[in-house]
Structure 1
């Protein structure tokens, strides 16, 4: 039992830090030199770790490096949109082996399972694998996924993916374990892993683009909700606080938040302020360039009005703005949102802009797939990345290395 715990602690450190020498691993997990050497020998014999060259540069003999054997398991991640599906395959260490972008039919009646399976087979073959060699596949999609039924909802843009238990059918017909996750939740995951939310326990994310979405993280776990609707802020009813008229009449119950801050609404707001724009991001960029503070302040008021509902309930450490409209606004716009937010709620929650570049949805899907496989294969816990499974099972307890003798002080749990 003690050996298993120490083995998992070593694997967790190697996955997090990359190749290490024996002495570096010894310090990281708090074991003696003989115990660490025995541990590495044991893991190498089990084909869990492999030699990874040597570290030189100093005087004396060069030190052997050790790493987790990436070939133990493979995963795939996909960002599914109406325009294209963006695939990536990696080994269990996260090393990317193949990438593939392809438009897939998403209309009602399309063979979405067959075409998805063909694309998955193609990218797996490009990595030198069969699709069935993949241990886990995570799909990021724009919509709400109900873990009780396997159904995707709030996704009229991909009607072919509606009306059936998506993970069960894909898993059964493709012979690979498949899960599906909301795209903004996946962006939150990657921000927790390598972005602005590293080290934070509680934060909320607001996605501003063609559509609007959100994610709520409490205790470094995604708050998905009973039906998968956690963070679906698009449907919140909020008042419109802007200083110019953008429509003839406002509904008595308020406007949908998504109808106020999605790209078409931002373009309409720009027109009311006297300038034209093609998209929300374009409008924000033009306003910043021209110094149109009235437009930016009106948009900040709208965003703050939606964020206030989340802040009042969650009281997070940070609000993160993401999506192309938010990126166009940058820190200047985030500061305006913070100013208006602090007029509405008691907590003085800071507001920032998500930092992960590239396809953050795909990157988050990959982190989620890796977390699942590392838990299943190694028993290694990756805090914050895994929500409850459909069975309701939670995460394992954090791994703590146990000293190999009573004379050694206990080592702290590895941190991310």
Structure 2
């Protein structure tokens, strides 16, 4: 039962939120302890717990002994009361995770997208979710919300995907509607690099940081920014589309206008072209990185130039938002050689000390971020006053 569906008084909603916030973050406790910590009366807290228990969101945990033989019932959030999905819908891979309402990931999977796009890709996502629910024995109606992270930006008017040249004909679909039908639940869509930023700030190397940045280098490139604990999205949701920064390649060329000058220079295709120009050979980026590590001059030169340009990007990001830390992610960005070369290049183009680290979550960063976004949205939808613009905290 959704708390907002019954439209209880705002003060009661605030009381419910306060109780759930404590139970989610601090674990099981008695009604008396909840009343003391929230400042609510014991009678009010008893009514709140009764409502939550009847609705299935809270359950009895056990009995603890108190002073002079007194005992108290402790309550906890019911883990099986509801679930959310986090989906990383990438150009080559689909990653899924199912999280319970307490914040525990109960199952996750990874599958190649097999070159599918459009409706066929959404059908694959549907099948993967169905397989996950069957595997875990969780009923579909228990999945209350899903967050899907994908490259590019969703047009709020049409639901179409924009600025995602690597995602094929998904750009012609109403993505939100299509995903909602495929997943059978309410869906929110977020940029994949923004989600990775959230993932690192929840469970990764940016945990506890209010101002951070996530730079992804891989098939494409992107930037996620968190300012004062909030994602920075911009007026049209396109903040962080660093592919289109006008350096690294000719910004006036047709390819730069389509894919972005900087992506043409340091995206996977740009690295391959740089290596081919020196060696005359065609190789996958992972193989170029392996050769560079082994000391191959042509491969090392291609990677070093990519790192030099990326160092300029790091300096630009630092100048714009002054983050406490910049995290490098993506298959290329988090590679140890790339991280080392970027850090070695920084002193040549800045006098500032910039904290740069490889992603702690690695390829799971975007999926974990999607889980965090889904969980946070679910908590706010269920337990936070709908009339107030405040948000609940994510459980640790």
Q: What is the TM-score of this pair, normalised by structure 1?
A: 0.73
Q: Is contact 1:12-1:380 (8 Å) kept? A: no
Contiguous gaps of at least 5 residues in structure 1: 241-249, 382-392, 400-412
2:242 is matched with 233
Q: Pick one of 297, 310, 315 that aligns with 1:303.
A: 310
* Structure 1 residue 320, shift from structure 2 partner: 1.7
Distance 1:30 1:294 in 2: 63
Contiguous gaps of at least 5 residues in structure 2: 1-9
2:188 is matched with 179
Distance 2:70 2:199 in 1: 39
Are 2:261 and 1:256 aligned? yes
Cα RMSD between the aligned structures? Answer: 4.2
Distance 1:356 1:55 in 2: 38
Give 1:15-34 correspondences, 5 Å limit.
Answer: 15-19=24-28, 29=38
Q: Pick one of 188, 191, 202 that aligns with 2:211.
A: 202
Deviations 1:310-358 (A, max 9, x none): 3333233322211122222266345225424525xxx644222221245
CA gap 1:363/1:20 in 2 versus in 1, 3 angstroms: farther
CA gap 1:358/1:52 in 2 versus in 1, 3 angstroms: farther
Distance 2:303 2:49 in 1: 57
Deviations 1:289-316 (A, max 9, x none): 6598977654332002223333333233
CA gap 1:110/1:317 in 2 versus in 1, 3 angstroms: same
* Structure 1 residue 140, shift from structure 2 partner: 1.8
Deviations 1:386-407 (A, max 9, x none): xxxxxxx9x83267xxxxxxxx
Are 2:330 and 1:323 aligned? yes
Q: Is contact 2:122-2:179 (8 Å) kept? A: yes
Q: Is contact 2:145-2:378 (8 Å) kept? A: yes
Give 1:278-297 correspondences, 5 Å limit.
Answer: 278-284=283-289, 287=292, 290=295
CA gap 1:273/1:202 in 2 versus in 1, 3 angstroms: farther
2:344 is matched with 336
1:314 is matched with 321
Distance 1:107 1:368 in 2: 26
Are 2:144 and 1:135 aligned? yes
* Structure 1 residue 22, shift from structure 2 partner: 7.1
CA gap 1:188/1:337 in 2 versus in 1, 3 angstroms: farther
Question: What number of residue pairs does the alignment pair up?
Answer: 376
- Point out the structure with the larger helix share: 2
Q: Is contact 2:376-2:394 (8 Å) kept? A: no
Distance 2:365 2:92 in 1: 17
DSSP 3-state at the match of 2:95: strand
Distance 2:82 2:183 in 1: 17
Distance 1:223 1:313 in 2: 12
* Structure 1 residue 13, shift from structure 2 partner: 2.8
Distance 1:62 1:306 in 2: 60
Distance 2:45 2:182 in 1: 44
CA gap 1:109/1:30 in 2 versus in 1, 3 angstroms: closer
Q: What is the TM-score of this pair, normalised by structure 2?
A: 0.76
Q: Is contact 2:180-2:187 (8 Å) kept? A: yes
* Structure 1 residue 260, shift from structure 2 partner: 1.9
1:47 is matched with 56
Q: Pick one of 353, 359, 365 that aligns with 1:360.
A: 365
CA gap 1:252/1:168 in 2 versus in 1, 3 angstroms: closer
